Amino acid sequence: MNEIVEKKVWWQDAPAIKEFEVKAPWIAEKHQAGQFVVLKVSENGERIPLTVSDKDVKKGTINILFQEVGATTMTLGRLSKGDKILDLTGPLGKPTHIEKFGTVVCIGGGIGVAPVHPIAQAFKAAGNKVISILGARTKGILIYEERMRKTSDEVRITTDDGSYGRHGFVTDELKAMIESGMKIDLVVTIGPAIMMKMVCKVTEPYKIHTYASLNTIMLDGTGMCGACRVTVGGKTKFVCVDGPEFDGHQVNFDEMMARLRQYLDEEKLAREICQKNTCGVR
Ligand code: FAD
Ligand code: FES
Ligand code: MG
């Protein structure tokens, strides 16, 4: 059982965005950039993966930031400071391959900005110039801007509605940077699958190596169930143990997106039940 020591509500309207700081000394100590945890909120609930977005090794805490998109994240969001998360396993997944590449562009879309944060920190610590592109639908739901400014040499922002930064998508900013002649040695992208696919389409003709951190459906998180199967370079890979990061130019995003949609009816039903009752919490 892991205690929630802080709770922050980033965005109240549905789907809400919330962040917990959770007591997990062992995970805080062992965690490396790019890794995630798998958690369970209630005895009969499902297991879901969430990325460690920050940590404080001295306090023995990790941060998880999540959007309430369905039954489990909504149930999780009902927990308060002082409550305990039933099961929390991690750190899971392979850490990001960090070395000095030169200029690294870290792209986070929506809540994908949070998982990109420790990766940007690690690339900066390894001596890279880090340029971050943060994308949001609108200014109010932009998360982690302050943290990303601390860890990046430069931060560029895009909003779909033009309320802050460039009016457009992260790919518009990336394209402009490449077309201006900027030398980019590596791109890292985390966000909705369609955004990562489009980022990879932008970088591929320029042969800019691109890491995409995949967010497939996961159950056990240890390579046994096959739920997180993806095709990368024509080969089957399990995101939980072979990833979550892969060479984005090799990922079959269309197959991945189809697999992400395979339980929509069940997820809708679970969400409706959850909205009517307490989903096993309180
Ligand atoms: P549901 O209504 O059950 O599902 C909503 C959508 O989420 C589904 O259509 C499906 O596409 C996806 N999904 C459903 N079940 C799972 C599952 N067991 N595992 C993964 N995806 C699922 N989200 C965050 O908000 N913050 C994060 O830091 C974050 N990190 C992630 C890291 C990894 C490695 C992966 C694989 C996913 C991450 N996600 C993160 C996505 C998060 O796990 C899903 O949003 C969550 O599982 C949805 O569960 P739900 O019951 O609330 O919604
Ligand atoms: Fe089961 Fe990856 S989540 S194999
Ligand atoms: Mg669910």
Identify which of 40, 89, 214, 220 to mutate to test ligand 2's pocket (most ligand atoms within 8 A of the CB). Answer: 220
Per-residue model confidence (pLDDT) at position 282: 45
Read off the amino acid at residue 113.
V
How many angstroms from the chain centroid is the CA of residue 142? 14
Secondary structure of residue 88 in the 3-state scheme:
strand
What is d(CA 169, CA 159) in angstroms, rounded to the nearest whole number? Answer: 7
Domain segments of the chain as ranges: 4-93+276-280, 103-213
Cα 184-187-191 angle, rounded to 5 deg = 150
Nearest-atom index, ligand 2, CA of 228: 2
Comparing CA positions, the residue from 246, 207, 238, 198 lying closest to residue 221 is 238
Tokens representing residue 275 in the block: 């909205």
Nearest CA to ligand 1 atom 50: 70
Identify which of 224, 236, 256 to mutate to test ligand 2's pocket (most ligand atoms within 8 A of the CB). Answer: 224
Is residue 220 in contact with ligand 2, taking CB distance under 6 Å? yes
**Which is it for strands 17-23 and 2-11: parallel, antiparallel or unpaired?**
antiparallel
pLDDT, tens digit (0-9, with 9 covering 90-100), for 8-53: 999 998 899 999 999 999 999 999 999 999 999 988 889 999 999 9
pLDDT, tens digit (0-9, with 9 covering 90-100), for 216-251: 999 999 999 999 999 999 999 999 999 999 999 999
Q: Please tell me the class of the 103-213 domain.
A: alpha beta
For the entire predicted model, the pTM comes to: 0.96
CA of 228 to the centre of ligand 2 (A): 5
Nearest-atom index, ligand 1, CA of 64: 28
CA of 40 to the centre of ligand 3 (A): 11
CA of 216 to the centre of ligand 2 (A): 9
Is residue 73 in contact with ligand 1, taking CB distance under 6 Å? yes
Q: Which pLDDT band, with edges at 50, 70 and 90, does 280 fall under?
A: low
Alpha helices, H only, the chain: 25-30, 71-77, 113-125, 145-151, 170-179, 193-203, 239-242, 253-260, 264-276
Is residue 47 in contact with ligand 2, taking CB distance under 6 Å? no
- Using an 8 Å Cβ cutoff, are 119 and 35 in contact? no
pLDDT, tens digit (0-9, with 9 covering 90-100), for 108-153: 999 999 999 999 999 999 999 999 999 999 999 999 999 999 999 9
Q: What is the average pLDDT across 164-181?
A: 98
Is residue 236 in contact with ligand 2, taking CB distance under 6 Å? no
**Which is it for strands 129-136 and 103-109: parallel, antiparallel or unpaired?**
parallel
pLDDT at 275 over 90: no
What is d(CA 31, CA 141) in angstroms, rounded to the nearest whole number? Answer: 27
Cis peptide bond N-terminal to 244, omega within 30: yes
Nearest-atom index, ligand 1, CA of 75: 52
Is residue 225 in contact with ligand 2, taking CB distance under 6 Å? yes
Is residue 90 in contact with ligand 1, taking CB distance under 6 Å? no
What is d(CA 48, CA 42) in angstroms, rounded to the nearest whole number? Answer: 12
pLDDT, tens digit (0-9, with 9 covering 90-100), for 180-218: 999 999 999 999 999 999 999 999 999 999 999 999 999
pLDDT at 1 over 50: yes
CATH number of 4-93+276-280: 2.40.30.10
- Using an 8 Å Cβ cutoff, are 245 and 213 in contact? yes
- Using an 8 Å Cβ cutoff, are 38 and 49 in contact? yes
